[in-house]
Amino acid sequence: MTDTDHRDSYPPSPAFAAAANADASLYQRAETDRDAFWAEQAAALHWHEPWTRVLDWSAAPVARWFVDGKLNVTYNCVDRHVLDGHGDQVAIHWEGEPGDSRAITYRELLAEVSRAANYFTELGLVAGDRVAIYMPMVPEAIVAILACARLGLTHSVVFAGFSPSALRQRVDDASARLVITTDGQWRRGKPAPLKEAVDEALSANGSTPHSVEHVLVVRRVGIEVAWTEGRDVWWHETVAEASDQHEAQPFDAEHPLFILYTSGTTGKPKGILHTSGGYLTQAAYTHHNVFDHQAGQDVYWCTADIGWVTGHSYIVYGPLANRATQVVYEGTPNYPDEHRHWQIIEKYGVSIYYTAPTLVRTFMKWGREIPDAHDLSSVRVLGSVGEPINPEAWRWYRDVIGAGTAPIVDTWWQTETGTIMISPLPGVTATKPGAAMTPLPGISAKVVDEEGNPVRLGETEANGYLVLDQPWPSMLRGIWGDPDRFRSTYWERYAEQGWYFAGDGAKLDTDGDLWVLGRVDDVMNVSGHRISTAEVESALVGHSGVAEAAVVGASDATTGQGIVAFVILTAETTDTGNALVEELKAEVARAISPIARPREIHVVPELPKTRSGKIMRRLLRDVAEGNELGDTSTLVDPTVFEAIKAGKS
Ligand code: WT7
């Protein structure tokens, strides 16, 4: 393993540090008294009734935070800003894919949410009922989420790219009474049906009854839709006609807020359950400090989809609790062309931009002349989430998008953790390209071996498993309907210590800073040496000829696993032959260690990715090992395999 990257660090400028929301004393305060620290963060919210106890961990692993406290999540995200005199501040600059746009103030958002809450009540929905939301990135999706939270309805957002059967599975698991959708969604200039998928989902399984009483449909693209009288209702004929006056009621801090499904090791997705007070506290706290968000000044943009947890915590709850003005964009980054994101940043003066490494690498592939053609001088903080960001992409991101000065916050967290756990603080941390650095103030994490011993600091083999050894406010409270799976998945591995097992490998560098290496099943074992797929990928994309790389460990009779790499070359690279492949192998051996030298490198035109942008290594492993392909249903484009197989032969 190379240590060279660890010496490369980027402190904030003195000016940034001086003006930042967070300074180093935050760590000190959290260390001194954790409960008092979290109580202080919770106090930034409006509580209808105060809590009597900060944390009750007696029923571990199910935590209760802010015991007996009562609040209304939506009141905190909307009403109180209007009451405080900020009704005219824009909450959402919505940018539609075809180029239409809407600016929605906090006052307008309150009116919309109130109408929706009144109509949901008219439908007979009561606190505790579940509502499925299957929508593209339209403002009504955010309104629907907030109306659910306002009424204590538990929302289950299902990514609008999921199939009808995936939707049905989630609707059934949670027994949703209402499904909210749109007629269709814009896909690169063309309307694609969406309500049709709901119809298919609900008529699936023959005559098997389902829990859904109504389907509420927003008209977005104007296509014809089939209609089930008595069940289906138009948003513009119902919600839009309802009263815009609605009084928010308080709910218990532990009232269920949402369920969000995420894939596990089995075929059945896990319904991750989050509750209200602790979740909102940590969402607001992290958004404020990690992004250094200044209400009324910053223009914030998180490019995630509301179908993923990043959209929940960093488009809806965190930013709105903090009175952000934010951009919400409906479409893809290359429609109508690759300039779209930079045009949006220019148009709205975006100052905080939060995206995924896979997109950064895509931008690199398209070439820096595209962002260079725009004025991005408003950008002052950059965020990364979803996978380890390779140092090459990190540097490009900072130099090209952040003018060589914007701090990058590499934020590690999971659907299960609810909000950010490990990340730099932009005004405090001297960041290192590729490192998530340290747990946030109030959060505790360790890197341990199989037995739970902390890995030794400063040694080359300081790799281990990432565990969370203290409860945190936004932690999952369970898996919907499956307490056994909740315990076995996260709490069994280190049951003796009572730690949460994150499923990620991590390493501590010689300074004690933390580098997340990726899922443990993505960590290869070659001749008894643990090598991260992410590290090999990073080494490959560190070569100027490589735009993107995916690495898997394929079974090998001699070494246990052998490293197989799939690479996409940059547009400029003309040599696609053996010489280049040999050069790349040598580069990896050089950058990491001869034991990390790939067994095979295949030049391919595409990589298989999920709709959230994650490379599906499991499928690549199947290709590498010549197996039958497993489930490809969550892929953006299943045909990429033809191309990959062609590249492999
Ligand atoms: C997994 C969680 C967090 C919201 C989006 C994904 C990986 C996430 C990082 C990061 C390295 C990261 C981990 C984690 N991951 N952020 N900054 N550095 N890895 O949520 O789908 O629940 O996935 O994403 O492997 O366990 P998710």
Instruction: Kindly state the percentage of the chain with pLDDT values over 90.
Output: 77
- Tell me: the pLDDT tens digits for 561-597? 789 999 999 988 888 788 999 999 999 887 777 778 9
Say whether 16 sits in a helix, a strand or coil: helix
Domains and CATH numbers, the chain: 527-648 (3.30.300.30)
Measured from CB, residues less than 6 Å from any atom of ligand 1 are: 262, 308-310, 385-388, 410-415, 436, 502-504, 516, 518-519
Determine the distance separating the centroid of ligand 1 and the alpha carbon of 534, expressed in angstroms. Answer: 13
Q: Is 546 annotated as a binding residue?
A: yes
Determine the distance separating the centroid of ligand 1 and the alpha carbon of 420, expressed in angstroms. Answer: 10
pTM for this predicted structure: 0.85
Lowest mean pLDDT: which of 195-209, 245-259, 415-429? 195-209
CA–CA separation, 221 and 244 (whole Å) = 25
**Tokens read off for 606:** 């595409």
Q: Which of 310, 382, 419, 504 to mutate to test the pocket of ligand 1 (most atoms within 8 A of CB)?
A: 504
Please state the φ and ψ torsions of residue 288, each to the nearest 5 degrees: -65, -45
Q: What is the DSSP string of 524-589?
A: EEETTEEEEHHHHHHHHHTSTTEEEEEEEEEEETTTEEEEEEEEEE-TT----SHHHHHHHHHHHH
H/E run at residue 252: strand 251-252
Say whether 300 sits in a helix, a strand or coil: strand
Q: Under 8 Å CB-to-CB from 17, ≥6 apart: which residues?
A: 11, 23, 427, 428
- Tell me: the pLDDT tens digits for 130-167? 999 999 999 999 999 999 999 999 999 999 988 888 89
Residue type, 179: V
Q: How many residues does the chain have?
A: 649
CA–CA separation, 289 and 293 (whole Å) = 7
CA 406, 412, 413 angle in degrees (round to 5)?
135
Residue 45 buriedness (CB in 10 A; 0-12 / 13-18 / 19+): buried
Please state the φ and ψ torsions of residue 185, each to the nearest 5 degrees: -140, 150
Determine the distance separating the centroid of ligand 1 and the alpha carbon of 51, expressed in angstroms. Answer: 32
Predicted pLDDT of residue 634? 66
Instruction: Kindly state the percentage of the chain with pLDDT values over 70.
Output: 93
Burial 276-291 (b: 16+ CB within 10 A, else e): bbbbbbbbbbbbbbbb
Which atom number of ligand 1 is nearest to the Cα of residue 410? Answer: 17
Q: What is the 3-state secondary structure (H, E, C) of 128-195?
A: CCEEEECCCCCHHHHHHHHHHHHHCCEEEECCCCCCHHHHHHHHHHHCCCEEEEECEEEECCEEEECH
pLDDT band at 627 (very low <50, low <70, confident <90, very high): confident
Q: Which of 385, 417, 532, 611 to mutate to test the pocket of ligand 1 (most atoms within 8 A of CB)?
A: 385
Q: How much is the average pLDDT of 408-417? A: 96
Assess contact for 259 and 479: CB atoms under 8 A. no
- For residues 2 and 507, the model is more confident at 507
Instruction: Please say if the pLDDT value at position 2 is more than 50.
Output: no
Handedness of CA 203, 206, 209, 211 (dihedral sign): negative
Which atom number of ligand 1 is nearest to the Cα of residue 415? Answer: 22
Q: What is the DSSP string of 355-424?
A: E-HHHHHHHHHH-THHHHTS--TT--EEEEESSPPPHHHHHHIIIIISTTTS-EEEEB--TTT-S--B--
Q: How much is the average pLDDT of 55-67? A: 98
**Tokens read off for 151:** 């009424």
Which atom number of ligand 1 is nearest to the Cα of residue 517? Answer: 11
Q: Is 124 annotated as a binding residue?
A: no
Q: Is 419 annotated as a binding residue?
A: no
Find tokens 């300039």 and name the residue.
339
Instruction: Please say if the pLDDT value at position 513 is more than 50.
Output: yes
Assess contact for 126 and 50: CB atoms under 8 A. no
Instruction: Please say if the pLDDT value at position 1 is more than 50.
Output: no
The residue contributing the CA closest to ligand 1 atom 27 is: 414
Instruction: Please say if the pLDDT value at position 339 is more than 70.
Output: yes
- Tell me: the pLDDT tens digits for 439-483? 999 999 999 999 999 997 765 657 899 999 999 999 999 999 999
Determine the distance separating the centroid of ligand 1 and the alpha carbon of 439, expressed in angstroms. Answer: 14
Predicted pLDDT of residue 7? 62
- Tell me: the pLDDT tens digits for 372-397? 999 999 999 999 998 888 899 999 99
Q: How much is the average pLDDT of 68-85? A: 99
